[in-house]
Structure 1
Amino acid sequence: MANDLITDVIIMGGCGRMGGTLVRLAQNDPELALKAVIERKDRLDELESLDCLVSDDLDAVLAQYPRAVVVEFTSPEATVEHVGICKRHGNPIVIGTTGLKPDQLAIVNEAATRVPVLLAPNMSVGVNVLLKVLPMLVQMLGPAYDMEMMEIHHSRKKDAPSGTALKLAECMAQARGWNYDEVKKHARDGIIGERGEKELGVVALRGGDVVGDHTAYFFGPGERIEITHRAHSRENFAQGALRAAKWLAKREPERLFNIGDTL
């Protein structure tokens, strides 16, 4: 059981790139107890060396470990399923999944009133500090500066723009008093005319093994400001998620939490 000293965690997708990183870091963290790793049945033999329960049945595992914090970076569809299971058992869940649709986000938000839930498209401390800093820049620079966002990720990333780019762009739009859905430009093609004053472009580049780059641009009269965050490895995100798990284990259901709440 999770207590003030040790937090029990359950990792989803232990054979995945992020899942494997989470497993390794959790095993080496004296403040965490890795109780179980969940994976598809056809890949369970790849996890036989782990000194914990390995299973393809989250429902059965949570019955054994009440209050253990589930940590997952999976797919939107899987996330919705996992959130429902956690809600039934009362287990907290840390979600790093991106690309959730409005109806899926609604399910996550509802679950957060029943069990502790933390959702963050990016678990990095640096990115979440940017979410605090960018609105200040928007307000200080004023409407004379055009705003744009660019992100780069590895060739295997499935969603675009990235959840982090969307979150950063949304916070910039909100700081200017804009509705993001009304001003976003995720694609420009052909003869589209001059750039409008009330417009925020988000460009997604894909290639190689880039973990994640995000650059916010402010184009002003006679100058340009660029603020870039580069993730050097997935450990940055994994450490943030495990730090969030420790924090979430001590919380009661209230609302949908984010990484900013843990800082």
Structure 2
Amino acid sequence: MEELPGIVITGVSGRMGRMLTKTVADSGKARLVAGVERAGHPWVGRDLGECLGGAPMGVPVTDDAVAAFAQAQGVLDFTAPAATVEFAALAAQARAVHVIGTTGLEAEHLAKISAAARHAVIVRAGNMSLGVNLLVRLTQKIAAALDEDWDIEVVEAHHRMKVDAPSGTALMLGQAAADGRGVSLEEAKVSGRNGITGARGRGTIGFSAIRGGDIVGEHDVIFAADGERVVLRHLATDRAIFARGALRAVLWGQGQKPGEYDMMDVLGL
């Protein structure tokens, strides 16, 4: 019987780290080989199951990513930009599939991730859910069909602890709208209006961010013209949708050629 692919989860004590742990452990499709945390974290050196308040799982929590990745075929990474860049290089050395759900990545981070992808499979997406990726494709198609008489606004809401804005998903949707119109998102993007801003510029793509409570994730793409609106909406109520998508991505990546992929590739969209 073929052995299941071994998975390492980085930032394993965080919200997504815990959800990824449960999803992989319950899947029957992969096996957990280690959880990674920063040096000095109280979970380091302990069994992951016990850290989560349950029975031992036989899965260590370590601060040695090199050793952990060396025994893995996949890495699930929802951490922070600087950490993700470091993990990308280490996963590439280990030839492990690196699934990146980290948001807030800047151009310098993306360049380093692209360099790592020359040696291993990297699947990166601002959102791993099936529904959101279908929404991205719909956004692109509608933007292509409607001219600049239709204003485009992306409105997103997340929990109070989220540190970046607009969200990675909002930027995915904005990029899809820009692609549909054949324009540069950087040139069309308008974020965080405040004060006397003047009339809205024709052809701009606006972003608005809401932060509060424990909102998992809500995204609206509004196409507004005189006399009518089209609103596309996705509501996430359970982080498990992102974890299931990440697991699907890391399994899909096994046997793929080195390179950068996204959830559209994974889902065949």
TM-score, scaled to structure 2: 0.92
Counterpart pick for 1:58 among 46, 58, 65: 65
Alignment correspondent of 1:85: 90
- Structure 2 counterpart of 1:260: 264
2:103 to 81, 98, 101: 98
Match of 1:230 among 232, 235, 256: 235
RMSD: 1.5
Post-superposition Cα deviations, 1:95-149, rounded to whole Å, max 9, x if no partner, equal: 0000011010001111111111110110000111112111111122322211111
Secondary structure at 1:28 match in 2: helix
The one-letter code sitting in structure 1 at the alignment partner of 2:60 is L
Q: Is the 8 A contact 1:147 1:218 kept in 2?
A: yes
Amino acid at match of 2:163: K
Measure how far apart 1:76 and its partner are.
0.2
Q: Give, in whole Å, the separation in 1 of the partners of 2:14 and 2:79.
A: 9
Quote the Cα distance in structure 1 between the aligned partners of 2:174 and 2:47.
39
The two structures have a TM-score, normalised by structure 1, of 0.94
8 Å CA contact 1:5–1:31 kept in 2: the answer is no
Task: Give, in whole Å, the separation in 1 of the partners of 2:119 and 2:82.
Answer: 20
State the identity %. Answer: 38
SS of equivalent residue, structure 1 residue 20 = helix
Deviation at 1:89, TM superposition (A): 2.0
Distance 1:201 1:258 in 2: 24
Report the secondary structure of 1:103's partner residue.
helix
CA contact (8 A) 1:153 1:207 kept: yes
| Counterpart residue type for residue 121 of structure 1 | G
- The aligned residue for residue 11 of structure 1 is 9
**Any conservation in 2 of the 1:15–1:46 contact (CA below 8 Å)?**
no
> Is the Cα–Cα contact under 8 Å of residues 5 and 30 in structure 2 kept in the other structure?
yes
Question: Which piece of structure 1 moves more, 154-163 or 49-58?
Answer: 49-58
Amino acid at match of 2:123: L
Alignment partners' CA distance in 1, 2:154 and 2:215: 17
Q: CA deviation at 1:214?
A: 0.5
Cα 1:36–1:46, aligned 2, differ >3 Å: closer, same or farther? Answer: closer
Give yes or no for contact 2:47–2:58 (8 Å, CA) kept in 1.
Answer: no
Where do 1:79-228 residues align within 5 Å? 79-228=84-233
Q: Distance in 2 between matches of 1:168 and 1:211?
A: 17
- Shift in CA distance, 5/231, structure 1 to aligned 2, threshold 3 Å: farther
Q: Deviations over 1:30-70 (max 9, x none)?
A: 1111111112342224734332232111101223x15x101
Residue 242 of structure 1, CA deviation: 0.5
Alpha-carbon distance between aligned partners in 2 of 1:85 and 1:141, rounded to the nearest angstrom: 44
1:56 maps to amino acid: D
What's the CA shift for 1:4?
6.5
Which secondary structure does the structure 2 equivalent of 1:42 belong to? Answer: coil
Stretches of structure 2 lacking an aligned partner (at least 5 in a row): 51-55
The 3-state SS of whatever aligns with 1:88 is helix
Give me the whole-angstrom Cα distance separating, in 2, the residues matched to 1:122 and 1:222. 32
